[in-house]
Amino acid sequence: MQKHICAQMVSATQHLMSYVDRDFYYRHASCGYQALLGLPVEQIIGKHVSELHSSEVYKNSIEPKLESCLKGEQIHHRIWVDSANLGRRFIDATLTPIVEPSQEITGIVVSAHDITDLVELQRELEELSARDELTKCFNRRYLIESMRQLLAKIQRDNSVIGIAFFLDLDNFKSLNDQHGHLAGDHALRTISERLQGVVRANDVLARYGGDEFVLLCELSSNDWPQALSTAKVISDKIKVSFSEPFDYQNQPINLACSIGFTLIDHYDTSIDMILQRADNDMYNCKQSSRTR
């Protein structure tokens, strides 16, 4: 009677609860599984766990945890599941071995819940913390972390190199002085939108500070002549993005920028030195344009 009541309680809950035998077949499942897997509970019971999940998820995430649990471990883990009804869902699960008085392990109780909303909220917060509030470009902290990761990748694989561009807006202070800081903010937002249209999907465009931007690019070949050619192409695209004036209160305002860059290879170990080289190159470009 008591076992029957417990089974009924498990079946009725929207919480993800199930009992899996030693051969990894579902013997009991709550109605919460119906929404997740898109099958009536009656069609879940009796199926092997591998039949209800992708082979990738089962082999890499689920099967190893089930096997560890059968050795007597209680397992906590997080997996993703492609639900027929709900799309990709993230699941937090606890696997507990069922130990008989004889110390024989006869199966596994799975207690899990859908944490997709929490995962998405965490991602949104991480995205917000990585972005500059005004321009929506990445912020300086994210840039430094991205450079750190790129340097580590280059050290592991010297066929990879990078390019760091340093951009500084020309006469931005005069714009603020003449039209006010609201115009300056509008210019920064407009320029950022244009630059986003230039960069590649995996590039990192960051507002470094004030009117300075850094663009970090990864190249899959350590061919330096080709890298220099790529850097020139990107620089030209950036300059073209500044060719059209931006509109502020029905008034066209022209802006230009100075661009410097440096290549990053396996000899580089200092982020500060990389940025300093790109900054120096930008400064030289700015000075040479003034002397023409």
pLDDT in tens, the chain (292 residues): 445 545 555 555 568 999 999 999 999 999 888 888 888 999 999 999 999 988 988 999 999 999 999 999 999 999 888 887 788 899 999 999 999 999 999 999 999 999 999 888 888 787 778 899 899 999 999 999 999 999 999 999 888 999 999 999 988 888 888 888 898 899 999 999 999 988 988 999 999 999 999 999 999 887 888 999 999 999 999 999 988 888 888 888 888 899 999 999 999 999 999 999 999 999 998 887 654 3
Residue 173 confidence (pLDDT): 87
Residue 292 confidence (pLDDT): 36
CATH superfamily, region 130-290:
Reverse transcriptase/Diguanylate cyclase domain (3.30.70.270)
Domain 2-121 belongs in CATH node 3.30.450.20:
yes
**CATH 3.30.450.20 domain span(s) along the chain:** 2-121
Residue 32 confidence (pLDDT): 86
**CATH 3.30.70.270 domain span(s) along the chain:** 130-290
Residue 203 confidence (pLDDT): 95
The structure's pTM equals 0.65
Q: What is the DSSP string of the chain?
A: -HHHHHHHHHHH-SSEEEEEETTSBEEEE-THHHHHHSS-HHHHTTSBGGGGS-HHHIIIIIHHHHHHHTTT--EEEEEEEEETTTEEEEEEEEEEEEE-TTS-EEEEEEEEEE-HHHHHHHHHHHHHHTB-TTT-SB-HHHHHHHHHHHHHHHHH-TT-EEEEEEEEEETHHHHHHHH-HHHHHHHHHHHHHHHHTTS-TT-EEEEEETTEEEEEEEES---HHHHHHHHHHHHHHHHHHTSSPEEETTEEE--EEEEEEEEE-TT---HHHHHHHHHHHHHHHHHHHH--
Residue 14 confidence (pLDDT): 62
Rounded CA-CA distance 278/216 in Å is 11
